[in-house]
A = this chain, B = another copy of it.
Amino acid sequence: MWLPIDPQSDFSIHNLPYGIFSIDSGPKRAGVALGDQVIDLYALAEMGTFRDLGIQPSVFQSDFLNDYIALGKKVHAALRQRLQVMLEDESSPFRELSGRFLHPQASVQMHLPVKIGDYTDFYSSEQHAFNVGTMFRDPQNALLPNWKHLPVGYHGRSSSIFVSGTNFKRPLGQTRPKDDEPPVFGPTRSLDFELEVATVIGGNTQNGQRVSVAEAEDYVFGFVLFNDWSARDVQKWEYVPLGPFLAKNFFSAISPWVVTTEALAPFRVPAPEQDPAVLPYLKGGKHQNFDVALEVELETTSGQKAIISQSNFKYLYWTVAQQIAHHTINGCNLNVGDLMASGTISGPEPGSYGSMLELTWGGKNPLTLPDGSQRRFFEDGDRLTIRGFSQKEGLKVGFGSVSSTVLPADPF
């Protein structure tokens, strides 16, 4: 390849994730990450690069990837191949012209990659559901009766999903610290993260249409890292009977680059065998997960840094394909740009739990940072970063990261 790339870069030629960027106050455009550069798809398209693929340049001069995504997987595959061939051809005419379509990532601003229509959050990690059930309900019956029969999920808020780098104020809310006293009001005292990966839906369906497990991945464009910030004290008081609401909808963050299923194909691994057997509509297809190492770093205002969790996207009992089949079995219609998050991904070891709730076991076992300071939940000024990547045999496909900082609550 004529463009030198650090072998440890998340953005190898095998990855080519899509995002939306701008330079200074210029218009938003679609781009592809490569090493420490952004490939400007609009600039390339204007040079005629994709004309024979039937892609109009205007689809890349857009605030969101949705219109490009809607062109379909054949177009995406053709563009991916076109870029790979161009970059691997040492005598490519594009090499001389690269100044016209390459920008250093350090010089661009990233934006939300997709216009999110509906956002669904699943609850598909068995260890996470088990941990929560053990803490809040009954250790002997930690999983609820429905959990192994269907991928439990619920609808979340789209408007408050922001791109990495956006910060947020500690939310205020109603909580009931003592069960026999009235509720109180104030800033949350148990601000938590949730380590998740979210699926970006890549196709539209009609209301009434079902998507089988086998065809589900035809409706997946790719994936982003997802941090579903949560206020546990608010959640505990509000969530019965209709589920989490204000405990979750104040702010969520996603990584800016959408990694495609094609890029993750070499990292497919068998998903856990399911026992009891699931109903026929949840069977079929490959029953595979993706092996993506995930890690969470906390950085405090005093400069302390600690990796507080190491998990993996493969720790899902319910696959993405099963989530989609379940979501549409009743005819619920999907749109390009919908987001379906995995739910907190906790692995089997305590160090792989995907939330402070689990890592500190409800605050009982605080995390100790290198300087001796402790965390049960997060404090103002704390910055959290989730990273994710797949790697094997010299092949690396990474997600980059999603970071956000907790700002103090506004006074009421």
Q: Which residues of A contact B (CB under 8 A)?
A: 117-118, 123, 144-146, 149-150, 152-160, 162, 168-169, 171-174, 176, 182-185, 207-208, 210, 231, 234, 237-246, 249-251, 276, 279-281, 326-327, 329-335, 338, 410, 412
Contacts and interface: CB of A to CB of B under 8 A. Distances in A.
B149 A182 contact: yes
Contacts of A171: 329-331
A159 B332 CA distance: 8
B185 A281 contact: yes
Nearest to A187: B330
B149 A183 contact: yes
Contacts of A160: 207, 331-333
A219 B55 CA distance: 40
A239 B238 contact: no
A335 B115 CA distance: 13
Contacts of A183: 146, 149-150, 279
Contact of A240 (B144, B168, B169, B182): B144
A331 B250 contact: yes
26 contacts: A117-B158, A149-B182, A150-B238, A152-B241, A153-B245, A154-B154, A155-B157, A157-B332, A158-B158, A159-B335, A160-B207, A168-B208, A171-B329, A171-B331, A172-B281, A172-B331, A182-B276, A183-B279, A184-B279, A242-B243, A243-B244, A246-B326, A246-B327, A246-B329, A250-B331, A281-B412
A146 B250 contact: no
A182 B280 CA distance: 13
Contacts of A279: 174, 183-185
A207 B169 CA distance: 9
Contacts of A156: 155
Contacts of A207: 159-160, 162, 168, 250-251
Contacts of A251: 207, 331
A246 B330 contact: yes
A327 B234 CA distance: 13
A338 B159 contact: yes
Contacts of A280: 185
Contacts of A410: 208, 210
Contact of A242 (B154, B158, B162, B326): B154
Given A153-B245, A182-B149, A231 B172 contact: no
A110 to B, nearest CB: 17
A154 B334 CA distance: 20
